[in-house]
Chain A
Amino acid sequence: MDGLNELLILGGSLFAIFVIFCIARLLGLGRKPDLRDADCALVVAQEVESGFEAKRVSISAAKDAALLKSEDGRIMLIKRHGGHFVGRILTGKASAQEEVDALIVNPSKAEQHFGSVRLRLDDAASWADAINRL
């Protein structure tokens, strides 16, 4: 009986969690931020790695992702995640692949939960080359 009660409590809790999630959505909570310009991307880069000084910045046309290159040749990938941005410094395990209208950047196999990022860039070819040469 105790076990059944606990299962009911668990089920009820799961239902309550789902209801709260739905209320959050119905209230329209959460905002999708944009990378408006290079300055905005630089601020995010500082959040990803304090002290990261970018000399080159390319923002995806959808303003949801960016690539930045520092003076010392390191490349940072930024993507929108929920209401914030997240980023990774790319290593030799990263790969970039050009498609018809996009550049697909994959930080590494170990970063599968971060996922690959799709960017629409004017200078996709040079970024692909730089990332694949890391």
Chain B
Amino acid sequence: MPDFSPTQIAVPFFIVAILSEMIWSRLRSPAAYEPKDTLVSLAFGLGSTVAGTLLGGFAVGVLVKAYDYRLIDFGQEWWTVWWAWPLAFVLDDLKYYWLHRAGHRIRWMWAAHVNHHSSQHYNLSTALRQTWTGAFTFGLLFAVPLVLLGFHPVMLAFVGGINLVYQFWIHTEAIDKMPRWFEAIMNTPSHHRVHHATNPRYLDRNYAGVFIIWDKMFGTFEPERGDEKIRYGIIKQLGSFNLLWSVFHEWIGMLRDIWRAPWRHKLSYLLREPGWSHDGSRDTSDAIRERWHQRQALSQHHSD
């Protein structure tokens, strides 16, 4: 049974890669990094590890308990079933797709995931902006079906770790496009730049972890265009390098909205998409995109 974490082993590689990208940035694109932004990103990464250590126990307990009710038994030595590993990896990536999609489409989940998008920069340090508050969402439930299917929680933690390590290198502007066959199947820097963009065309697209095929299958794929400069971050950029505000701002905003909302709308502020408001005073990503499409059509009409 593997008794090590892929993410922990990858930490030295992360550091070397970030330093290498900084040198690239110095030579080619000094604006790609901003020291204070990098400081916040790295602190996010460390804090997320601490939060995982302190708060992860509950999730482990639930999944271990769920494993008692598995449908398929890979046996006492489940880790020796070689084909279960790649299968677990692919299914876990499918799970990641839906978990990630929920992270963008349900405000409760977004309150935790927004951390990862809060930088206006897109570099390898951005990849380390991981949530501190995932334990306070229902993200854990997305893993339960896989456990009930028979995959041991340790196996899922391992393949999930590899998934996370894979996603590190795609947070860069230093790589333009990978070979076509690779872009067709795998998540790449190009696909993931789209995911981090706030351009209306790109909002809520490319949720993939490792395999971009899920976005193509479920209708959320958007290719990166060469003629549109990407703006990174969130719709309402924070405008602050305060670490704690960056971590908790959406939780505070959501709880404030729930508190102030009429009773019949309170749950909607928890479960509906970010930007939804009961009085229509704010914009969801769908509304922003729709208005942008209308303006595009109008400007096309005028130019014809």
Contacts and interface: CB of A to CB of B under 8 A. Distances in A.
Nearest to A43: B229
A81 interface: yes
B26 A28 contact: yes
Nearest to A16: B15
A31 B179 CA distance: 32
A1 interface: no
Interface in A37-92: 47-48, 50-51, 79, 81-84, 86-88
Contacts of A13: 46, 49
Contacts of A114: 238-240
Nearest to B240: A113
B31 A30 contact: yes
Nearest to A44: B231
Interface in B3-23: 15, 18-19, 22-23
B34 interface: yes
A10 interface: yes
Interface of A is mostly: mixed
Interface in B141-165: none
Contacts of B233: 84
A29 interface: yes
B39 A17 contact: yes
Interface residues of B, number: 42
Interface of B is mostly: helix
Contacts of A50: 200, 288, 291-292
A23 B19 contact: yes
B275 to A, nearest CB: 12
A92 B151 CA distance: 55
A86 B26 CA distance: 24
Interface in B188-245: 198, 200, 231, 233, 237-242, 245
Contacts of A86: 120, 237-239
Contacts of A81: 120, 237, 239-240
Contacts of A4: none
Interface string B122-155: 0001000000000000000000000000000000
Contact of B239 (A14, A17, A31, A79): A79
Interface string B18-53: 110011011000111111111100110010011001
Given A29-B26, A79-B239, A24 B46 contact: no
Interface of B: 15, 18-19, 22-23, 25-26, 30-39, 42-43, 46, 49-50, 53, 120-121, 125, 198, 200, 231, 233, 237-242, 245, 249, 288, 291-292, 295
26 contacts: A6-B53, A10-B50, A17-B42, A20-B18, A21-B35, A21-B39, A23-B19, A24-B33, A24-B38, A25-B35, A27-B33, A29-B26, A29-B30, A29-B34, A30-B34, A30-B36, A50-B200, A79-B239, A81-B239, A82-B36, A82-B120, A83-B31, A83-B37, A113-B242, A113-B249, A114-B240
